[in-house]
């Protein structure tokens, strides 16, 4: 087989998947070496959806919105058929059944024939993702500040309360023309929120103006799960063949 530019891009994408997985702490990747950028651009990518293991359907919309938004931003060169359009083609009942099956089995293999028949002439590829793990953690940070009231010599010690969200997500791209899995990757993503809270070790004589209100001295609410998934979705889109080369920092 001749070594073409697209073959080189495909091999580079394999390495990108591996490096991205390592940087996120855990990685499992598959990339069909015959997949080319022109296949994606000409064949189009339809989005089936994003599910979360053993969670209600109501949690899906913001996760799906993040996947579609990120894919559009990262790969404007690849035409994308949104999940709403796919649902209209498949029918709401069948779409729900396919997503439920993917939620519990983590694969579409048994449904590829059915999906391919419905999307024939519309899209060659189907994109789907599943959140396998979702955890929140609390910690304190020494990035807080010490405030001194020079008029009264009062000293208030602050530290930051941090709530982290850690997720693990599997993202897969199926080639409907071959009825086969083309790309699969698993990443860890995270996000955090923080705000000042009074340190248990701090000695307070006068609370400074604009200080932390009593009801806000605990940990902040957890970040949205969709925010934690933005990084993994970006990494996946950038790892596909034909992605723009980005300067290293």
Q: Please state which of the ranges 26-40, 101-115, 116-130 shows the lowest mean pLDDT.
A: 26-40
Q: Which distant-in-sequence residues (6+ apart) come within 8 Å of 188 by Cβ?
A: 24, 25, 26, 166, 167, 168, 232
Structure tokens at 244: 């723009």
CA angle 154, 156, 158 (to 5 degrees): 170
Instruction: Tell whether the model's pLDDT for residue 12 goes beyond 80.
Output: no
Q: What is the dihedral of CA 100, 106, 111, 113, to 10 degrees?
A: 150
Q: Please state which of the ranges 1-15, 78-92, 139-153, 170-184 shows the lowest mean pLDDT.
A: 1-15
How much is the average pLDDT of 102-127? 96
pLDDT value of residue 157: 52
How much is the average pLDDT of 101-122? 95
Residue owning tokens 């396998």 = 132
* Strand, coil or helix: 212: coil
Structure tokens at 197: 């809270």
pLDDT value of residue 174: 98
> Do 98 and 111 touch, CB atoms closer than 8 A?
yes
pTM: 0.77
Label residue 138 by pLDDT band (50, 70, 90): confident
Structure tokens at 106: 């983590």
Q: What is the dihedral of CA 212, 218, 220, 225, to 10 degrees?
A: 180
Q: What are phi and psi of 20, to 5 degrees?
A: -65, -40
pLDDT value of residue 216: 54
Query: Which string of b and e fits 107-126 if b means at least 16 CB within 10 Å?
Result: bbeebbeebbebbeeebbbb
pLDDT value of residue 217: 56
The domains of the chain are located at 5-134+164-188+226-239
pLDDT value of residue 86: 98
Q: Please state which of the ranges 16-25, 56-65, 77-86, 226-235 shows the lowest mean pLDDT.
A: 16-25
> Do 70 and 237 touch, CB atoms closer than 8 A?
yes
* Integer Cα distance of 159 and 140 in angstroms: 7
pLDDT value of residue 25: 46
Q: What is the pLDDT of residues 13-55, one digit of tens each?
A: 433 333 333 335 446 578 899 999 999 999 999 999 999 988 8
Q: What is the pLDDT of residues 81-104, one digit of tens each?
A: 999 999 999 999 999 999 999 999
CA angle 163, 235, 123 (to 5 degrees): 125
How much is the average pLDDT of 165-187? 96
CATH number attached to the domain at 5-134+164-188+226-239: 3.40.50.10610
How much is the average pLDDT of 50-68? 93
pLDDT value of residue 147: 52
Measured between its terminal Cα atoms, the distance across the chain in Å is 35
Label residue 70 by pLDDT band (50, 70, 90): very high
Sign of the four-CA dihedral 111, 89, 81, 117:
positive
- What ranges in 91-134 are assigned the alpha helix state H? 92-105, 112-119
What count of residues does the chain have? 249
Structure tokens at 243: 């992605």
How much is the average pLDDT of 157-179? 88
> Which of 217, 231, 242 has its CA nearest to residue 21?
231
> Do 49 and 82 touch, CB atoms closer than 8 A?
no
Q: What is the pLDDT of residues 177-227, one digit of tens each?
A: 999 999 999 999 999 887 776 544 444 433 344 444 444 557 788 889 999
pLDDT value of residue 198: 58
> Do 86 and 44 touch, CB atoms closer than 8 A?
no
């Amino acid at each position: 087989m001749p070594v073409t530019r697209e073959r080189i891009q495909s091999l580079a994408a394999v390495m990108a998947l591996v490096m991205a997985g390592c940087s996120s702490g855990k990685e499992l990747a598959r990339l069909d070496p015959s997949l080319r950028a022109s296949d994606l651009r000409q064949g189009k990518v339809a989005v089936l959806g994003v599910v979360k293991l053993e969670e209600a359907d109501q949690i899906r919309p913001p996760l799906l919105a993040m996947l579609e938004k990120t894919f559009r931003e990262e790969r404007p060169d690849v035409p994308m058929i949104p999940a709403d359009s796919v649902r209209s083609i498949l029918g709401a009942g069948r779409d729900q059944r396919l997503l439920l099956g993917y939620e519990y089995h983590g694969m579409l293999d048994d449904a590829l024939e059915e999906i391919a028949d419905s999307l024939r002439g519309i899209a060659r590829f189907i994109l789907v993702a599943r959140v396998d793990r979702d955890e929140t953690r609390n910690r304190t940070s020494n990035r807080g500040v010490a405030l001194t009231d020079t008029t009264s010599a009062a000293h208030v010690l602050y530290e930051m309360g941090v709530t982290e969200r850690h997720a693990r997500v599997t993202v897969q791209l199926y080639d409907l023309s071959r009825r086969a899995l083309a790309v699969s990757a698993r990443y860890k993503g995270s996000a955090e929120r923080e705000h000042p809270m009074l340190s248990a070790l701090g000695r307070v004589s006068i609370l400074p103006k604009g200080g932390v209100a009593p009801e806000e001295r605990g940990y902040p609410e957890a970040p949205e799960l969709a925010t934690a998934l933005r990084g993994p979705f970006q990494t996946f889109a950038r790892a596909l063949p034909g992605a723009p080369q980005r300067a290293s920092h």
